[in-house]
Structure 1
Amino acid sequence: MADGRQVDERGAGEVSAPARRMRRADRREQLLAAATRAFARTGFAATSLDDVVAEAGVSRVILYRHFESKADMYRAVLERVCGRLEEAVGSGDYDEGTIPDLLRAARADPDGFRLLFRYAAGEPEFREFTSRLGGAATEIAHRHLAESIPDARWAAWASHLVPTVAIEAVIAWLDAGQPGDEAAAERIGQAIQGVIDAARLPDTPER
Protein backbone atom coordinates (compact mmCIF):
# COMPACT_ATOMS: atom_id res chain seq x y z
CA MET A 1 0.00 0.00 0.00
CA ALA A 2 1.04 3.57 -0.63
CA ASP A 3 1.24 4.53 3.03
CA GLY A 4 3.76 1.80 3.85
CA ARG A 5 1.25 -0.65 5.37
CA GLN A 6 0.38 -4.04 3.92
CA VAL A 7 -2.52 -6.49 4.20
CA ASP A 8 -1.76 -10.01 5.35
CA GLU A 9 -2.63 -12.88 2.98
CA ARG A 10 -5.46 -14.16 5.17
CA GLY A 11 -7.25 -10.83 5.01
CA ALA A 12 -6.95 -10.33 8.75
CA GLY A 13 -6.28 -6.64 8.23
CA GLU A 14 -3.46 -4.24 7.78
CA VAL A 15 -0.13 -4.83 9.47
CA SER A 16 2.80 -2.49 9.76
CA ALA A 17 5.74 -2.98 7.42
CA PRO A 18 9.05 -3.81 9.10
CA ALA A 19 11.03 -0.76 10.19
CA ARG A 20 13.81 0.12 7.82
CA ARG A 21 17.28 -0.43 9.31
CA MET A 22 19.64 2.51 9.39
CA ARG A 23 22.76 2.17 7.25
CA ARG A 24 25.87 1.35 9.27
CA ALA A 25 27.63 4.61 8.40
CA ASP A 26 24.53 6.64 9.29
CA ARG A 27 24.12 4.79 12.58
CA ARG A 28 27.76 5.37 13.47
CA GLU A 29 27.37 9.08 12.74
CA GLN A 30 24.25 9.20 14.92
CA LEU A 31 26.12 7.52 17.77
CA LEU A 32 29.13 9.83 17.46
CA ALA A 33 26.91 12.92 17.47
CA ALA A 34 25.08 11.69 20.58
CA ALA A 35 28.32 10.72 22.30
CA THR A 36 29.77 14.17 21.57
CA ARG A 37 26.82 15.82 23.30
CA ALA A 38 26.97 13.46 26.27
CA PHE A 39 30.75 13.71 26.77
CA ALA A 40 30.71 17.50 26.35
CA ARG A 41 28.48 17.82 29.41
CA THR A 42 30.73 16.05 31.92
CA GLY A 43 33.87 14.75 30.21
CA PHE A 44 35.10 11.19 29.75
CA ALA A 45 35.33 9.90 33.32
CA ALA A 46 31.93 11.15 34.49
CA THR A 47 30.02 10.01 31.39
CA SER A 48 28.79 6.41 31.31
CA LEU A 49 27.82 4.29 28.36
CA ASP A 50 24.25 4.42 29.66
CA ASP A 51 24.41 8.22 29.30
CA VAL A 52 25.39 7.82 25.65
CA VAL A 53 22.74 5.15 25.07
CA ALA A 54 20.08 7.44 26.53
CA GLU A 55 21.30 10.39 24.44
CA ALA A 56 21.25 8.33 21.24
CA GLY A 57 17.99 6.53 22.00
CA VAL A 58 19.46 3.11 21.19
CA SER A 59 20.34 -0.07 23.06
CA ARG A 60 23.74 -1.11 24.37
CA VAL A 61 23.69 -3.92 21.80
CA ILE A 62 23.65 -1.38 18.97
CA LEU A 63 26.38 0.67 20.65
CA TYR A 64 28.68 -2.35 20.94
CA ARG A 65 28.20 -3.18 17.27
CA HIS A 66 30.17 -0.01 16.50
CA PHE A 67 32.51 0.53 19.47
CA GLU A 68 34.40 -1.94 21.64
CA SER A 69 34.51 0.26 24.74
CA LYS A 70 33.87 3.74 26.10
CA ALA A 71 37.49 4.68 25.41
CA ASP A 72 37.21 3.43 21.83
CA MET A 73 34.09 5.53 21.32
CA TYR A 74 35.67 8.61 22.92
CA ARG A 75 38.68 8.37 20.63
CA ALA A 76 36.38 8.12 17.64
CA VAL A 77 34.52 11.23 18.84
CA LEU A 78 37.76 13.20 19.20
CA GLU A 79 39.03 12.03 15.81
CA ARG A 80 35.75 13.20 14.26
CA VAL A 81 36.05 16.62 15.91
CA CYS A 82 39.70 17.01 14.86
CA GLY A 83 38.91 16.01 11.29
CA ARG A 84 36.07 18.50 11.02
CA LEU A 85 38.18 21.26 12.54
CA GLU A 86 41.11 20.64 10.20
CA GLU A 87 38.73 20.53 7.24
CA ALA A 88 37.16 23.87 8.23
CA VAL A 89 40.32 25.75 9.21
CA GLY A 90 43.07 23.95 7.33
CA SER A 91 46.33 22.67 8.70
CA GLY A 92 48.97 24.29 6.51
CA ASP A 93 49.02 28.01 7.21
CA TYR A 94 47.22 31.00 8.75
CA ASP A 95 45.72 33.96 6.92
CA GLU A 96 43.03 36.59 7.43
CA GLY A 97 40.33 33.94 7.14
CA THR A 98 41.64 31.65 9.88
CA ILE A 99 39.86 33.26 12.85
CA PRO A 100 36.49 33.56 11.02
CA ASP A 101 36.87 29.92 9.92
CA LEU A 102 37.61 28.90 13.51
CA LEU A 103 34.51 30.72 14.74
CA ARG A 104 32.34 29.08 12.11
CA ALA A 105 33.70 25.65 13.02
CA ALA A 106 32.99 26.27 16.70
CA ARG A 107 29.48 27.53 15.95
CA ALA A 108 28.76 24.45 13.81
CA ASP A 109 29.85 22.03 16.55
CA PRO A 110 30.10 23.81 19.92
CA ASP A 111 29.91 20.56 21.89
CA GLY A 112 32.76 19.05 19.91
CA PHE A 113 34.88 22.20 20.19
CA ARG A 114 34.44 22.38 23.95
CA LEU A 115 35.03 18.65 24.32
CA LEU A 116 38.31 18.78 22.44
CA PHE A 117 39.79 21.88 24.03
CA ARG A 118 38.17 21.94 27.46
CA TYR A 119 37.97 18.29 28.49
CA ALA A 120 40.37 16.24 26.36
CA ALA A 121 43.16 18.74 27.03
CA GLY A 122 42.97 17.85 30.71
CA GLU A 123 42.63 14.08 30.30
CA PRO A 124 46.09 12.43 30.17
CA GLU A 125 44.87 9.43 28.17
CA PHE A 126 43.47 11.66 25.39
CA ARG A 127 45.64 14.77 25.61
CA GLU A 128 47.45 13.66 22.45
CA PHE A 129 44.64 15.11 20.33
CA THR A 130 44.98 18.66 21.61
CA SER A 131 48.77 18.33 21.83
CA ARG A 132 48.92 17.40 18.15
CA LEU A 133 46.78 20.36 17.10
CA GLY A 134 48.56 22.69 19.51
CA GLY A 135 51.98 21.65 18.27
CA ALA A 136 51.01 22.26 14.65
CA ALA A 137 49.45 25.64 15.50
CA THR A 138 52.56 26.72 17.42
CA GLU A 139 54.81 25.74 14.52
CA ILE A 140 52.72 27.72 12.04
CA ALA A 141 52.59 30.73 14.36
CA HIS A 142 56.37 30.64 14.75
CA ARG A 143 56.85 30.71 10.98
CA HIS A 144 54.80 33.89 10.87
CA LEU A 145 56.34 35.60 13.89
CA ALA A 146 60.02 34.65 13.86
CA GLU A 147 61.06 37.38 11.41
CA SER A 148 58.97 40.16 12.96
CA ILE A 149 59.93 39.58 16.62
CA PRO A 150 63.66 40.28 17.04
CA ASP A 151 64.23 38.30 20.25
CA ALA A 152 63.97 34.57 19.52
CA ARG A 153 62.88 33.86 23.08
CA TRP A 154 59.93 36.24 22.87
CA ALA A 155 59.10 34.91 19.40
CA ALA A 156 58.85 31.42 20.91
CA TRP A 157 56.72 32.79 23.76
CA ALA A 158 54.29 34.48 21.39
CA SER A 159 54.15 31.41 19.12
CA HIS A 160 52.94 29.29 22.04
CA LEU A 161 50.58 31.91 23.40
CA VAL A 162 48.81 33.02 20.20
CA PRO A 163 47.05 29.65 19.54
CA THR A 164 46.07 29.43 23.22
CA VAL A 165 44.58 32.92 23.17
CA ALA A 166 42.65 32.13 19.98
CA ILE A 167 41.16 28.89 21.33
CA GLU A 168 40.29 30.30 24.75
CA ALA A 169 38.76 33.37 23.12
CA VAL A 170 36.54 31.20 20.92
CA ILE A 171 35.40 29.10 23.90
CA ALA A 172 34.63 32.29 25.83
CA TRP A 173 32.69 33.52 22.79
CA LEU A 174 30.63 30.29 22.77
CA ASP A 175 29.97 30.61 26.49
CA ALA A 176 28.93 34.26 26.07
CA GLY A 177 26.17 33.34 23.63
CA GLN A 178 28.07 33.70 20.34
CA PRO A 179 27.80 37.48 19.73
CA GLY A 180 28.32 38.70 16.14
CA ASP A 181 30.84 36.72 14.11
CA GLU A 182 32.54 39.72 12.49
CA ALA A 183 32.87 41.58 15.80
CA ALA A 184 34.16 38.41 17.47
CA ALA A 185 36.78 37.85 14.78
CA GLU A 186 37.93 41.46 15.08
CA ARG A 187 38.19 41.31 18.88
CA ILE A 188 40.04 38.01 18.85
CA GLY A 189 42.39 39.43 16.24
CA GLN A 190 43.05 42.42 18.50
CA ALA A 191 43.79 40.11 21.44
CA ILE A 192 46.27 38.17 19.31
CA GLN A 193 47.84 41.39 18.08
CA GLY A 194 48.25 42.43 21.71
CA VAL A 195 50.33 39.32 22.36
CA ILE A 196 52.48 40.03 19.30
CA ASP A 197 52.97 43.68 20.25
CA ALA A 198 53.95 42.66 23.78
CA ALA A 199 56.53 40.24 22.39
CA ARG A 200 58.07 43.05 20.32
CA LEU A 201 58.61 45.35 23.30
CA PRO A 202 62.25 45.96 24.14
CA ASP A 203 63.44 44.45 27.38
CA THR A 204 63.74 46.89 30.28
CA PRO A 205 67.29 46.92 31.62
CA GLU A 206 67.50 45.19 35.00
CA ARG A 207 68.52 47.36 37.92
Structure 2
Amino acid sequence: MTSPVRRRDAAATRQLLLEAARRRFAADGYAATSVRDIATDAGVNVALISRYFESKEGLFRACLRGTVDDLKQSVFENLPLEDAPRMLAEKMAISQPKEANQLLLLLRSSGDETAERIRLDTLGSLARRLAAAAGSEPDDPKVLLNAQIVLATALGAVILRSAGLQPLAAADSDQLAEPLEKVISVLLPKT
Protein backbone atom coordinates (compact mmCIF):
# COMPACT_ATOMS: atom_id res chain seq x y z
CA MET A 1 0.00 0.00 0.00
CA THR A 2 1.42 3.35 -0.99
CA SER A 3 1.18 6.36 1.24
CA PRO A 4 -0.92 9.26 0.05
CA VAL A 5 0.93 12.02 -1.76
CA ARG A 6 1.19 15.10 0.41
CA ARG A 7 0.28 18.21 -1.53
CA ARG A 8 1.99 21.45 -0.72
CA ASP A 9 -0.21 24.44 0.01
CA ALA A 10 1.98 27.43 -0.87
CA ALA A 11 -0.23 30.00 0.86
CA ALA A 12 -0.41 27.95 4.06
CA THR A 13 3.35 27.31 4.04
CA ARG A 14 4.05 31.00 3.46
CA GLN A 15 1.74 31.88 6.38
CA LEU A 16 3.45 29.32 8.65
CA LEU A 17 6.82 30.87 7.80
CA LEU A 18 5.55 34.40 8.47
CA GLU A 19 4.10 33.45 11.86
CA ALA A 20 7.25 31.59 12.90
CA ALA A 21 9.43 34.47 11.70
CA ARG A 22 7.36 37.08 13.59
CA ARG A 23 7.72 35.08 16.79
CA ARG A 24 11.48 34.63 16.32
CA PHE A 25 12.22 38.18 15.18
CA ALA A 26 10.12 39.66 18.01
CA ALA A 27 11.70 37.44 20.66
CA ASP A 28 15.31 37.21 19.48
CA GLY A 29 15.80 40.11 17.06
CA TYR A 30 16.90 39.99 13.46
CA ALA A 31 20.60 39.26 13.97
CA ALA A 32 20.07 36.38 16.41
CA THR A 33 17.40 34.70 14.30
CA SER A 34 18.46 32.08 11.78
CA VAL A 35 16.43 30.95 8.80
CA ARG A 36 16.98 27.38 9.95
CA ASP A 37 15.28 28.16 13.29
CA ILE A 38 12.35 29.79 11.50
CA ALA A 39 11.94 26.83 9.16
CA THR A 40 12.14 24.38 12.07
CA ASP A 41 9.51 26.36 14.01
CA ALA A 42 7.27 26.35 10.94
CA GLY A 43 7.87 22.64 10.31
CA VAL A 44 9.08 23.17 6.75
CA ASN A 45 12.27 22.85 4.74
CA VAL A 46 14.60 25.84 5.06
CA ALA A 47 14.82 26.13 1.26
CA LEU A 48 11.21 27.32 1.20
CA ILE A 49 12.27 30.62 2.78
CA SER A 50 14.32 31.40 -0.32
CA ARG A 51 11.51 30.18 -2.55
CA TYR A 52 8.82 32.40 -1.00
CA PHE A 53 10.82 35.36 0.36
CA GLU A 54 14.21 35.24 -1.43
CA SER A 55 16.17 35.76 1.81
CA LYS A 56 16.05 36.37 5.54
CA GLU A 57 15.83 40.10 4.79
CA GLY A 58 12.91 39.48 2.44
CA LEU A 59 11.15 37.46 5.12
CA PHE A 60 11.76 40.23 7.69
CA ARG A 61 10.40 42.81 5.24
CA ALA A 62 7.30 40.67 4.67
CA CYS A 63 6.78 40.41 8.44
CA LEU A 64 6.99 44.19 8.81
CA ARG A 65 4.68 44.80 5.87
CA GLY A 66 2.14 42.37 7.31
CA THR A 67 2.31 44.12 10.66
CA VAL A 68 1.81 47.51 9.05
CA ASP A 69 -1.10 46.29 6.95
CA ASP A 70 -2.79 44.80 10.03
CA LEU A 71 -2.30 47.98 12.05
CA LYS A 72 -3.52 50.20 9.23
CA GLN A 73 -6.66 48.12 8.77
CA SER A 74 -7.49 47.66 12.43
CA VAL A 75 -6.30 50.86 14.07
CA PHE A 76 -5.17 53.61 11.76
CA GLU A 77 -7.32 53.41 8.63
CA ASN A 78 -9.68 56.42 8.53
CA LEU A 79 -9.35 56.71 12.28
CA PRO A 80 -11.43 59.43 13.93
CA LEU A 81 -9.42 60.74 16.86
CA GLU A 82 -12.24 60.09 19.31
CA ASP A 83 -11.97 56.37 18.44
CA ALA A 84 -8.16 56.28 18.80
CA PRO A 85 -8.04 55.51 22.55
CA ARG A 86 -10.45 52.60 22.22
CA MET A 87 -8.76 51.19 19.13
CA LEU A 88 -5.27 51.51 20.61
CA ALA A 89 -6.50 50.01 23.89
CA GLU A 90 -7.98 47.04 22.04
CA LYS A 91 -4.66 46.45 20.27
CA MET A 92 -2.77 46.78 23.55
CA ALA A 93 -5.15 44.47 25.41
CA ILE A 94 -4.69 41.63 22.97
CA SER A 95 -4.02 38.27 24.44
CA GLN A 96 -3.10 36.61 21.18
CA PRO A 97 0.69 36.06 21.07
CA LYS A 98 0.62 36.48 17.28
CA GLU A 99 -0.66 40.05 17.52
CA ALA A 100 1.64 40.92 20.41
CA ASN A 101 4.59 39.63 18.37
CA GLN A 102 3.55 41.86 15.48
CA LEU A 103 3.66 44.96 17.69
CA LEU A 104 6.91 43.93 19.34
CA LEU A 105 8.43 43.33 15.90
CA LEU A 106 8.10 47.05 15.18
CA LEU A 107 10.41 47.76 18.10
CA ARG A 108 13.15 45.25 17.36
CA SER A 109 16.28 46.48 15.71
CA SER A 110 17.20 44.31 12.76
CA GLY A 111 20.88 45.04 12.30
CA ASP A 112 20.14 45.39 8.59
CA GLU A 113 20.12 48.92 7.13
CA THR A 114 17.30 48.28 4.66
CA ALA A 115 15.11 46.52 7.21
CA GLU A 116 15.78 49.33 9.71
CA ARG A 117 14.67 51.93 7.21
CA ILE A 118 11.46 49.97 6.59
CA ARG A 119 10.83 49.68 10.33
CA LEU A 120 11.44 53.39 11.01
CA ASP A 121 9.35 54.43 7.99
CA THR A 122 6.55 52.25 9.33
CA LEU A 123 6.66 53.81 12.78
CA GLY A 124 6.81 57.28 11.24
CA SER A 125 3.82 56.54 9.02
CA LEU A 126 1.77 55.37 12.01
CA ALA A 127 2.61 58.57 13.92
CA ARG A 128 1.63 60.72 10.91
CA ARG A 129 -1.70 58.90 10.73
CA LEU A 130 -2.33 59.72 14.38
CA ALA A 131 -1.47 63.37 13.76
CA ALA A 132 -3.82 63.45 10.76
CA ALA A 133 -6.59 61.89 12.87
CA ALA A 134 -6.29 64.91 15.17
CA GLY A 135 -7.12 67.09 12.21
CA SER A 136 -3.63 68.54 12.22
CA GLU A 137 -1.00 68.81 9.54
CA PRO A 138 0.77 65.45 9.96
CA ASP A 139 4.17 66.92 9.09
CA ASP A 140 3.98 69.77 11.61
CA PRO A 141 7.02 68.99 13.84
CA LYS A 142 5.21 69.76 17.13
CA VAL A 143 2.13 67.71 16.24
CA LEU A 144 4.28 64.90 14.87
CA LEU A 145 6.34 64.84 18.07
CA ASN A 146 3.17 64.57 20.14
CA ALA A 147 1.82 61.81 17.88
CA GLN A 148 5.10 59.93 18.27
CA ILE A 149 4.81 60.23 22.05
CA VAL A 150 1.28 58.79 21.90
CA LEU A 151 2.59 55.92 19.75
CA ALA A 152 5.53 55.40 22.14
CA THR A 153 3.10 55.27 25.07
CA ALA A 154 1.00 52.60 23.39
CA LEU A 155 3.98 50.52 22.28
CA GLY A 156 5.65 50.93 25.69
CA ALA A 157 2.51 49.56 27.30
CA VAL A 158 2.67 46.54 24.97
CA ILE A 159 6.26 45.90 26.10
CA LEU A 160 5.39 46.15 29.79
CA ARG A 161 2.31 43.96 29.32
CA SER A 162 4.42 41.30 27.57
CA ALA A 163 6.86 41.48 30.49
CA GLY A 164 3.98 40.71 32.87
CA LEU A 165 3.99 44.00 34.80
CA GLN A 166 0.84 44.08 36.93
CA PRO A 167 -1.76 45.52 36.93
CA LEU A 168 -1.00 46.63 33.35
CA ALA A 169 -0.62 43.06 32.06
CA ALA A 170 -4.06 42.07 33.35
CA ALA A 171 -5.89 45.21 32.23
CA ASP A 172 -8.58 44.81 29.60
CA SER A 173 -9.29 47.21 26.77
CA ASP A 174 -11.85 49.18 28.80
CA GLN A 175 -9.31 49.77 31.57
CA LEU A 176 -6.67 50.83 29.05
CA ALA A 177 -8.92 53.14 27.02
CA GLU A 178 -9.47 55.72 29.76
CA PRO A 179 -5.82 56.58 30.46
CA LEU A 180 -5.04 56.45 26.72
CA GLU A 181 -7.88 58.87 26.08
CA LYS A 182 -6.34 61.26 28.62
CA VAL A 183 -2.90 61.01 26.99
CA ILE A 184 -4.32 61.55 23.51
CA SER A 185 -6.58 64.44 24.51
CA VAL A 186 -3.62 66.29 26.05
CA LEU A 187 -1.07 65.56 23.33
CA LEU A 188 -3.33 65.61 20.27
CA PRO A 189 -6.26 67.91 21.01
CA LYS A 190 -8.80 67.90 18.18
CA THR A 191 -8.27 71.01 16.04
The reply on whether 1:90 has 2:82 as its aligned counterpart is no
Query: Is the Cα–Cα contact under 8 Å of residues 166 and 192 in structure 1 kept in the other structure?
Result: no
How far apart are residue 54 of structure 1 and its match? 1.8
Which residue does 1:28 correspond to in 2?
Answer: 14
Residue in structure 2 matching 1:70, options 45, 56, 61 = 56
| CA RMSD, Structure 1 to Structure 2 (Å) | 3.0
Q: How does 1:57-206 map to 2 (within 5 A)?
A: 57-93=43-79, 94-96=81-83, 97-103=86-92, 107=96, 109-120=99-110, 124-143=113-132, 144=134, 146=136, 154-176=142-164, 178-181=169-172, 182-193=174-185, 195=187
TM-score with structure 2 setting the length: 0.74
TM-score with structure 1 setting the length: 0.69
Partner AA of 1:113 in structure 2: L
Partner AA of 1:180 in structure 2: A
Name the structure, 1 or 2, with higher relative contact order (CA <8 Å, separation 6+). Answer: 2
CA deviation string 1:88-129 (max 9, x = no partner): 213333332322343256745111211122335x75322333
Query: Is the Cα–Cα contact under 8 Å of residues 169 and 188 in structure 1 kept in the other structure?
Result: no
Partner AA of 1:179 in structure 2: A
- Of residues 50-59 and 62-71 in structure 1, the stretch that sits farther from structure 2 once superposed is 62-71
Give the distance between the partners of 2:77 and 2:103, measured in 1 at CA: 16
Q: 1:141 to 1:31 in 2, by over 3 A?
A: closer
Give the distance between the partners of 1:141 and 1:37, measured in 2 at CA: 27
State the SS of the aligned residue for 1:172.
helix
State the SS of the aligned residue for 2:78.
coil
Query: Is the Cα–Cα contact under 8 Å of residues 35 and 52 in structure 1 kept in the other structure?
Result: yes
State how many pairs are aligned. Answer: 178
The percent of aligned pairs where both chains have the same amino acid is 26
State the SS of the aligned residue for 1:18.
coil
How far apart are residue 33 of structure 1 and its match? 0.9
Query: Is the Cα–Cα contact under 8 Å of residues 91 and 136 in structure 1 kept in the other structure?
Result: no
Query: Is the Cα–Cα contact under 8 Å of residues 89 and 180 in structure 2 kept in the other structure?
Result: no
Where structure 2 has 5 or more consecutive residues not aligned to the other structure, the ranges are none
Where structure 1 has 5 or more consecutive residues not aligned to the other structure, the ranges are 1-14, 198-207
